[in-house]
A and B are shown apart, each in its own frame.
Chain A
């Protein structure tokens, strides 16, 4: 990019073109990151959403590139081309700004893939800019390729900065509505500076006036954004999450019942006390399958309820909780039922990718590795459900150790467990695998339940009639074994029943990505 010359008559010098190309590249990628966040949340992080969103975005850019030829016909002389370029940037920015609120309203009425047409339209508007910059800055001589490379490089650098700064910095500090407003203002600032450069002061004033009217009006479209995207057709005016945490890792919500949603998908609850028929029997019962689970690894701490339960197991001496998303630690800090995790000397909470943590700590051994894995159809779910990952987890077990994970009703996940572990049971929707036979000791289980206290509050208040009755029902859980077809959820299944149920479904591997791209998961 050493050549800064341009032929006389071009409306943009090369340095100006580089600057414009970088700035508009920044905006384009920043908007793409915003839309990724939008669709990631709208679809509860379906892997398909990434590919389809990317496809729609690129298709829009492609159409915009061709569409740009319409404005190239005006030539390169006079103030008109720069004014036109400024107008295109303003329009593209406004179109991009409208995507989030429009999609949030339309998903209440339409199947989400249809809303990608809006992304495509906004991306088409963005796609008109780069070719026009090249048209206005690069003379068609023998050095056109080299000059184009400079403009293209500037665009790539701007795009990279847009991606990194938006995804890594701005999303950490700004809620989506403010981020979008900032990008809108940024786009308009670029357009205004172009108009000033072209001496089109009148347009500057009129654009500023329009902006003053548009921004507050459209910002209203962002009100209750997450609630609309989450509840869609069930959304009613006034619905509001009890807590919202937005960060570069995603969006966490807690509703008024204490139910946690991570990027729009159910992600557990803040409840820790066991009741009969409760799904919460799983963390209690898995630990009961091991006579003395002293060291426990929890991969995916989320709201911390299961880590809290395990940390208070009477026999547990140490719990390491690995969580990929730091904001969950903030949620734990602010939630009374689990806040003591931060003070519990038995508990160590680590921010890391679970697989990477295991690889980085090859000598660590555990009696129990627990993963309340997310829905099997979500993006990257197969990274924790694959044969390769389960082999890795198995290699970190102590003698008699157990790995347990939520199959979320995926038969392929259960089949993978059968292939990796010689001994296993299914505990409701959990697969429990080990190298040694899994035997439930009823007396030990009952004794555990009687002694289990969380933050010094007994799980079963044996001073009350209700507490004693609840204990009796829960202590009988080892008796609830039966074939898969018996549908009541308060049940476990032996290996033979699991084998009969899963049949010859394919296993999940790192290569085949499990269910992530299944059609039925739209």
Chain B
């Protein structure tokens, strides 16, 4: 069965969606990601959709689900790389992706994740943990 690979990068999980998703593949990704968050105790999930040309209401719901599920498992989700045409279409469709953090690209997304967990990982002197 076809699967989207999930990479572990320090305290984060990295997903780059390079193929056009059909519904079952998106559901498998949702499932795999949540299991990986639990298994690796990841603090953040970064999903790169720069190669995705279509986000419809189903795909939007999956992204929202991943963010909410990760959140109750103490991980932050950031979606990066959305193409301008996809953003325009999503808003017209009526989907706001509320509750999902977004950033322009992978680099800024990583920074956002470091920031988000940085606040939690500060030690007594207010310094960040070394791995961050």
Q: Do A and B interact with each other, yes or no?
A: no
